[in-house]
Amino acid sequence: MKFTDGYWQLLPGVTELRPRHVDEVVAGEDTLTVYASTAPITTRGDTLNRPLVTVSFHSPMDGVVGVTVEHFQGGLGRGPRFELHRSVGDVKITTPQLNGAPVATLRSGPLEARVATEGDWSVEFVADGRVLTSSMARSVGVLTDADGRHFVREQLTLGVGEHVYGLGERFGSLVKNGQTVDIWNADGGTASDQAYKNVPFYLSDAGYGVFVDQPERVSFEIGTEVVSRAQFSVEGQSLTYYVVAGPTPKDVLRRYTALTGRPARVPDWSYGLWLSTSFTTSYDEATVTHFVDGMAERDLPLSVFHFDCFWMRQFHWSDFIWDPATFPDPAGMLSRLKERGLRICVWINPYIAQRSVLFAEGKERGYLVKNPDGSVWQWNMWQAGMALVDFTNPEATAWYQGKLRGLLDQGVDCFKTDFGERIPTDVVWHDGSDPQRMHNYYTHLYNRSVFDLLVAERGPGEAVLFARSATAGGQQFPVHWGGDCESTFVSMAESLRGGLSLALSGFGFWSHDIGGFEGTPDAAVFKRWLPFGLLSSHSRLHGSDSYRVPWAFDEEAVDVTRRFTRLKMSLMPYLSQAGRVAHEEGLPVMRPMVLEFPEDRGAATVDTQYMLGESLLVAPVFSAGGDVDVYVPDGTWTSLLTGEKVTGPRWVHERHGFDSVPLYVRPGTVLPVGARADRPDRDHADGVTLHLFELPDGHRSTSRVPSGDGEATFEVRREGSRVRVRALGAPGAWAVHPDGGQRVEVPAGTGEVELTL
């Protein structure tokens, strides 16, 4: 939201208060509070009729400094609030002289906030002796607009060549400089500035991140209100934000996800191919069986079958009752599918249609969101007479979970938690939450309630969602998918940008509808989308009004599906490591180039390719003819598909057939590849082959490969032309395959092998 007319003037009707004179600094044990008047104070009389702005500093953990800007402090403080994982670190409060000027400082780990106590308002955030960003004389503002609404604003400086990323799943340019972004969940598809997953966090390649701790609408102006500043504002009388130290983008994400929550572990079976009935298509058990048989007959590995909306009766969503006319024996059908080794997913949402048997029950028990007059809030969008489950009511949450538990008892394994964005702001919540703050936060309660049920019923590490909406902290409940995209190359590219933006917002796992959702892709779009989808963390065939089985397009689509599904299954030892890192460190499986190569200016703006884990570069092909430009960072990279080598840093133009894609292995990589390519859930260490790529002299690394309930570790060390590999906990035979060299088989029980390059 903009408040100024150019740099000097305010918009008509807007008034502003800003800190001009530090009246007093109060140092607590681990807090620093600054009282600043809105004009210089030279006499006692100047304090009369003079507003104060209170700015307080604290730290929830090492390397993170929180700032709260307040005008009036008498508000009700209604929730909800983001749940932050605090771990009190070593906080130091000092009041030294800096270059002859008095300052007050709060230090947390490597990060320090320095507040000038004389002269113009100035706060510098400093790490390792370098100023990361600053709040300057005209940055903080307490504003009132022409309609009498109150806002608090902060502006943090941007440096020359600095790039800003994140703010949730956004489908425009990966770099957010020059963009206006409102954090407000909406069901707007992937082709607009609206987003399903809005996260008030941005990451800067200057070595820091900023998290605005406000669940309501936060308006960001990234170099748009003032070109040299990133602005964020909220309606009300206070604003809290955190500066998160790096120095690298990975360090920022580690700290940010430690604060807001790390992704849960996902089960191995979820990495396999998911096949859906699609949305409005006609299907019954015979149709489903035909699809499953077709995949098996064509040797296409399938892991999960998904039933979309019409597994329930029309106008009854959601009642969690199988349509008896279409599925007369749901438990038997699910049992038959599970006998074939499949997992089952079903579509749900938090909305209760008036015809649903749950509507009257929810109304009677007070489990549905209410209007101020006490009646049930309803509208006709999506479902006739639709109401909304009130997840701020613990009894309503338990009631909703109880309905889903019945499906788990039938054999369902996971849920596609659709919607959660269309949340009204003129309602009353059970716990008294502020409706504006609840709009974005509702999805967090919705997804958490379903995820918690799966953890309770299936156990940690077995719970997984396919969720559409989210906000800060939602990364704890994976997996999220990109929503309703069109079936075009342009939409394929915008979907990738959304996933990369989400990755830089703390989300570790992400997927999208292969071939696009809206409409039916032509065969070229579908075949180009397949490698992209199957080289994502999670892979799903799903559409709106047409099936997405590969043979519906052409036989080549079947071959492409087989090639890349089997490739992904063979990469499970590597992907499982990437998933472990996402869970333990908060680093995404699919990574923008800037995350892996922050010192490479050529990588800063690249949003048409990504790193799958830390070692595989994937560049989807966005054209029927197969032309693609790939940015290759420094070093000699090797094509995993052909063995061809290319040296960077430079852009490379290539042309690929439908059965190929630029897929390069980073130099210095030990890539574990599995012995089987038919399913994702197995002992990944049994029969694993370690592929060595361009290992430099002096290389040392450890690969952790899941094995049963534990893991096998492989320590690789190069000294001159000799390479030694030491195995710990390997359950059977394994192998080493040097780049361009002979594959060396290692018998079971052998703990170490040496080879010459």
- CB of 736 within 8 A of CB of 743? yes
Of the listed 124, 225, 418, 686, which one is catalytic? 418
By the 8 A CB rule, do 270 and 536 touch?
no
* Residue type, position 700, single letter: R
> At residue 351, what is the residue type?
Y
Residue 412: CB atoms within 10 Å: 22
Annotated active-site residue in 154, 221, 421, 462: 421
> CA-to-CA distance for 204 and 195, rounded, in angstroms?
21
Peptide bond into 479 cis (omega under 30): yes
CA 649 to chain centre: 28
3-state class (DSSP) for residue 532: helix
Tokens of 297: 């007959």
Is 484 part of the annotated catalytic residue set?
yes
Tell which residue, 199, 237, 239, 234, has the closest CA to residue 218.
234
Does the annotation count 418 as an active-site position? yes
What type of residue sits at position 563?
R
CA–CA distance, 59 with 66 (Å, rounded to integer): 5
- For residue 150, the one-letter residue type is H
Residues 6+ apart with CB under 8 A from 282: none
Query: What does the alpha-carbon distance between residue 567 and residue 319 come to, in Å, rounded to a whole number?
Result: 39
Calpha distance 511→499 (Å, rounded):
8
Mark whether 128 is an active-site residue: no
Continuous H helices in 685-737: none
Residue in 484, 494, 518, 739 annotated catalytic: 484
E strands present in 356-512 = 387-388, 414-417, 480-481, 510-511
Determine what percent of the chain falls in helix, strand and coil, rounding each to the nearest 5.
20, 35, 45
What beta strand segments (E) does 498-641 contain?
510-511, 513-514, 539-541, 590-591, 610-612, 616-618, 627-639
673 neighbors 743 (Cβ within 8 angstroms): no
Only one residue has tokens 């369902």, namely 412
266's tokens = 């996902």
| CA count, 13 A, side-chain hemisphere, 691 | 22
Are residues 590 and 503 in contact, defined by beta-carbon separation less than 8 angstroms? yes
Report the distance separating Cα 209 and Cα 111, nearest Å.
Answer: 12
For residue 49, what are its two tokens?
């009729």
Q: Do the strands 141-144 and 164-168 form a parallel or antiparallel pair, or are they unpaired?
A: unpaired
Picking from 653, 504, 651, the residue whose alpha carbon sits closest to that of residue 592 is 504
Q: Strand 645-655 relative to strand 700-707: parallel, antiparallel, unpaired?
A: unpaired
| Whether 387 contacts 378, CB under 8 Å | yes
Query: Would you call 159 exposed, middle or buried from its count of C-beta atoms within 10 A (0-12, 13-18, 19+)?
Result: middle
Catalytic residue numbers read 418, 421, 484
